[in-house]
Structure 1
Amino acid sequence: MIGKILGDRYEIIERIGGGGMALVYKAKCRLLNRYVAIKVLRTEFTNDDEFINKFKRESQAAASLCHPNIVNIYDVGVEDNIHYIVMEYVKGKTLKQLIREKGKLSYEETLDIATQITEAINHAHKNHIVHRDIKPHNILITDDGRVKVTDFGIARAATSTTVTNTSNVIGSVHYFSPEQARGGYTDEKSDIYSLGIVMYEMITGRVPYQGESPISIALKHIQEDIIPPREIDKSIPKSIEKIILKCVEKNQSLRYESAGEVLKDLQKAKSSSDGDFVEFKNLDDSPTRVMPAIKDEKIDKKKQSSRKNKKSEKKEKGKKSNYITAIAIVLAFLITSGLAVGFIVVKDYLFTEEVVMPQIVGMHEDKAREKIESLGLEFKVKGRRYDDTYKEGVVISQSEEPGYKVVVGYPIEVYVSKGPKTVEVPNLTNKYYSDVEIVLNNAGLKMGEVVFENSEIPTDIVIEQNPKPNQKVPEGTKVDIVVSEGPEISYIIMPKLIGLDIEKAKKEIISKGFSIGEIKYEYNDEFDKNVVVWQSYPAGTEIEENTSIDLIVSNGTQISNDEEDQNGQDNVNTDNDSTNTTESENGDKEKNEEENKETALHINIPLPQNKDEVEVKIYKIQDGIKELIYSKVHETKEEWIAVTVSGKGKAKFAIYFDGELYKEKEISF
């Protein structure tokens, strides 16, 4: 079904559930561009015309319901003998799953969920729709805690068809009302009984009745009272116990009159956990009445006339009695003889032989046939279908449960496996990892183990798969893949460069596998000229190979203005010629410094807002030389940064965000 398009608009994406009646798939509506849930009826029900017609009518009726606690039905259709209903897609879990996860629910959780279920049931009852299969499996809990009741149409349609099929009521029989178990009349109060059982399971963590078979559980609904919740757990408040006990009364007339009444008591229970507000009904037996004797004048007259003739009749009776006695003896003999002969003739018709149904699921068809026919039963193959569990030719279902007694000659219907459905494995190599799951779903396969390995292939590209492309494998097989992480990254311990001569530091950087980054010269009183005074990464840290290492190098001790003036005065006082020469040289030096002086400007750079932080690098490109002048990581919440650049003439500046070129800017100084 995966990948199939129903009604020219619903594309099946994946299977998300299933039960005795149908399988549930997640699909995408191409027309409205939204996800929906599609419930597809199992094939064994699609051949029952009466059920299909009822299913259509009830689903259409349920589609008229509109309530926040009811799963909306959008569409009903049939295509290629596939009968389906399109419903609201609810992301969450069933109430049954929630109970299994938590063991049992708290008083507050039980009240909240029960209230929402009751509101859904009350809305349906007001629209003359009875669910008939209220159970935790049909109640969905969304991620934000909203309750959604589903299967209104399918549950009502299924009642008459599946209630007698024990293989299909295993999940529902725990929640059946007594009248449903008897096959009697069901109405709104049947939903109230099932609601009470659901509340019982929520607050205690278990269903009230257990048994070896659906029939034994159904009989307990009819004959046995439930154990009160407070006998299981004393901490359960009295109010919720009384509400449950009133919902699950055996007699329909003793239950709540409507879901609306249940709702009122649930609201009271929220504010008064031990309140005594639940009113129970009593059935008074009708008093015995003494009926007066019925007199009839005609009867009295007959009695009077009979008394008059009594004497004459006695005489005649004496004569006839001898003849009657003789005739009675002869007739008794004839009747006794006839019964004896008749018993011998018809005993085979009066007493039918029964045999115990064996387990034949899992047996090969031939052996199962031999087993069934040896017991005097009829072996009938109802159909063959694909199955992931059983090999081809093996029985996968039987119409009668093992251990049940069946009459000799009774037909036993079975389904036989065609083996797993096989599909062709698509070629996943060279595809992006993010696309793989979609490709597998469309092919009817699942994602298996994912391993990431370093490779020369670009990052996130599939480089291997198992099973290999074009192989035939069972539908649903998991496909393992290997995904490239890109080339392997080596990390190197950063050496200590501070204190080294700049040339030695450069050689050390290159020999370790790093690259030389920005080198700045600053005056420094502690280090001699051309000695490294700062490095961009501390010594001893692990740094990625080929990382650029920035340095600050000492430019020696800065000479003060007083010292310069003193030196100049000494020169003046020493010799005029030398003074003139010095002044001339100083003038030329100042002129050269003026010509070589660089102008400083500010560049305002907007930071990208699609990430939390970004590494900003700026390169100065002039006279064919590319020089890194800025490198720093900024948080993007700064929005803008101002960077000072300097130069003379025309220079181009290239700005990079995380290694990608953002913009080139040409500046005239």
Structure 2
Amino acid sequence: MDTTLTDPLVGKLLDGRYRVESRIARGGMATVYVALDIRLDRTVAVKVMHRSLAEDPAFVRRFIGEAKSVASLSHPNVVHVFDQGTDGDNVYLSMEYVPGRTLRDVLRARGRLPAREALEVMIPVLAALGAAHQAGLVHRDVKPENVLLSDDGRIKVVDFGLARAIEATNQTRTGVMIGTIGYMSPEQVTSGAADVRSDVYSAGIMLFELLTGRQPYEGDTPMSVAYRHVHDTVPVPSALLPETSPLLDTLVAQATARDPADRPADATAMLVAAVEAHRALPRESGPVPSVPVGPPRGQDSAPPPANQTLIQPRVDLLTSPVTDHAAPAARKPERFRPNWFVIALAVVMVAAVGVTGWLFSQSTTITVPKLVGKNVTIAEGEARQAGFAVEIGKAENSEDVPKGNVIRTDPEAGTEVEGKSKLLIIASAGPKRIPVPNVVGLDENSARTKLAEVGLVVGGVKKQSSETVPRGQVMKTSPAVGNQVKEGSKVALVMSAGLVMPDVKGMPRDQADAMLRGAGFTPEFVEQTDAAQPCTVIAQDPQPNAEIDKGAVVRMTLSQCSNGEWHWPWENNDQNVNEDQQIVVVPNVLFKDVRAARDELRAAGVSVKVKRGSGRATVLAQIPPGGQQVPAGTEVTLWH
């Protein structure tokens, strides 16, 4: 029965964007599907977490954070994370779809790999881990199942950060260890702690398995294997394969040291050692017998049985089958009887062939291989193997070629040159990014000049009031100072407008004086006679909303304050108030939130007019004042 047909997600549109087409894998934590991103019209892999994880809020929070971190990691040997989201009970990742097989599939089909092939797998894996380590990410579950070999020969590492997200779930609170026990470092077993050197340990175990065809520790239970990781020293590959190069023994031993301090500092350090070992290994090596499954020699085990299965080196990892070769039957040597004529003739022929070969070798040409777009370490190895003297030039910035991949070669691909010619390889340094310079405190012209000096332009100027930054100076930028942006990007400036002059017209003198002094102004008052309401501001200079500096003098004209009495329009003797009109008491809303004050006044039966004072969110003045009896519908003015 086809399980794909019974899967409820197959054929569904996930999150309104991903049309799930088929299921390709199911693991202990998630199920992976092939889906079509209908928005971008591309095929993606969608990893949907199991329901038990999706129902845990701690996992979902950690999962989202880790997904964002991994999505920022751009490396040719890392499976790219495009998107993360939830759709009902489904928590998912949208990732790059890599058609091919896992390294585990290859190991099952072929058994162990020859030394050079094993390193050619490990080098891109270590490059991916090294990029993650430099970005502050730890994989925590390095194993062959998480290494993908695409149909076109690329090697990709998947599932960065997922183990860390799982640690936040309830499942880990009962003592369950996160990771795969066969590859788990001693510190992960004992304390659950993992750093970049834990990934190095797991990579060392994986290299051991690639070289020998088996993991170093086997046991009846996971805990017995975990015990050996903590208390035993990982054997070197030559304990199983005596012909193993000492370089590989050293590389495995250093990577799998029980004390993290004795391992390479991170995957990049191990990558350097792996590349050096690859360079030092012979270019070609004969077929080597596979390793029988069982404990290493010297551990109470019988000698391994004879095994005629051979692995041919330098073959395609995805398609090459394991072949059997039988050793020829031994023949009894015959007595040697020299034929001097034949010997002399052979000497002449060998000499002639040697001279001819030397002559032809003087004019042998080789063709520059196509290396653009490949990882620079892999490209260097291919070029040296083709017979070039390789020189790695200074990396150059590129918006199109990922960091660490080849931009160009000199001579270019397809050029025929003499053997051992020099080949210059230029790698990408990634996109050129410029940190936004610190222009805070500069005037606008100076800020424009400083931005132009580093290749950036001003993308707009906004003004904002400030009590601390002098008027005309830059308060902040968008993007913020220090952010990495493309060359030629626009940077918006936020300039200080200093203080904005409030509108105090119609405000009593004492309230206007208090509000202006509190806002940092120096008020001055001049009285004028013919005004209806005494001691009230009837004019001001500067005008409302003018930009002025802190401490500036504000001149206000007042109605005459001599009689000291207030006469509201409804209190005048010459105005008749309708006896049937409802009288209400004005609530005191000073220092209350402006919105709450407006609602309270309207509820009391008066209308409200709000005027800007210092721009704060609380009421600084009100007219008529609180406690005043007024006809219903009277307008109350608030300043904030």
TM-score range relative to shorter protein: 0.3 to 0.5
Give the structure-1-normalised TM-score. Answer: 0.40
Give the structure-2-normalised TM-score. Answer: 0.41
Rg: which structure is higher?
A: 1
